[in-house]
Amino acid sequence: MKYFRHLILRLLLIIVGIIFLSGIAFAQTLIVALGDSLTEGFGVSREEAYPYLLEKALLRKGYVVKVINAGISGSTSASAYSRLKWYIRTKPDIVILALGGNDGLRGLSVEHMKKNLSKSIELAQSEKILVLLAGMQIPLNYGTEYTESFRNSFHELAKNYKLPMIPFLLKEVGGVSSLNQPDGIHPTPEGHQIITRNVLEYLEPLLPEIN
């Protein structure tokens, strides 16, 4: 009788161990896409915006992930810190930081933008959250000096904080009329599909570090 009790106990421990390890193996990776109208999906449905498409693409590849669309139209880098502080409560593993585009379009100070993004990056890193920085660019009609300074600022941030970076979120979309809505700024559903591929290229290599 004593032998059987020990046998049952061992089996229970094995079952509990299997359940525990399975929970680790299939733990969900939480990704927060923190951005502006490009992330929110201005002019398209929520299911057509790149965060939703990104989650579906990753699920098809077998990753156990959840992507939160934390985009707010019109937001600038000034909102990054407070919004990230709120989303930290969800305990994300990765934050896609895709802010700054509106700073550029409004001709705001590049140095102030860098300070705002730096503060947010430092907050994320203090919480052991991996940041994937999305590089932005603005039209050349803002002047060569400003557009170059704006573009380079994202590369400088990535270098200073040792961040993985999407060189240009709107690669093959920005400036292509057929992939943008009549305002020439916000992508169409087809444009969001290309953005999804742009993000996926740099996000997917990070997932083995998390999973």
In-domain check, residue 6: no
Catalytic residue flag (residue 186)? yes
Q: Which of 75, 93, 186, 192 is catalytic?
A: 186
Is 125 within 8 Å of 131 (Cβ atoms)?
yes
**Residue 160 buriedness (CB in 10 A; 0-12 / 13-18 / 19+):** exposed
Considering Cα of 82, then 65, then 170, then 74, what sign does the dihedral take?
A: negative
In-domain check, residue 1: no
Percent helix, strand and coil across the chain, each rounded to 5?
60, 15, 30
Percent of the chain with pLDDT over 90: 84
In-domain check, residue 170: yes
Whole domain around residue 143: which residue ranges? 28-210
Nearest Cα neighbor of 88 from 113, 70, 103, 61 is 70
DSSP 8-state code for residue 171: T
Q: How many CB atoms lie within 10 A of CB 1?
A: 5
Q: Which of 126, 177, 178, 183 is catalytic?
A: 183
Q: How many domains does the chain have?
A: 1
Task: Specify the CATH number for the domain of residue 58.
Answer: 3.40.50.1110
Pair type for strands 29-35 and 65-71? parallel
Query: Average of pLDDT values for 153-158?
Result: 98
Tens digits of residue pLDDT in 55-114: 999 999 999 999 999 999 999 999 999 999 999 999 999 999 999 999 999 999 999 999
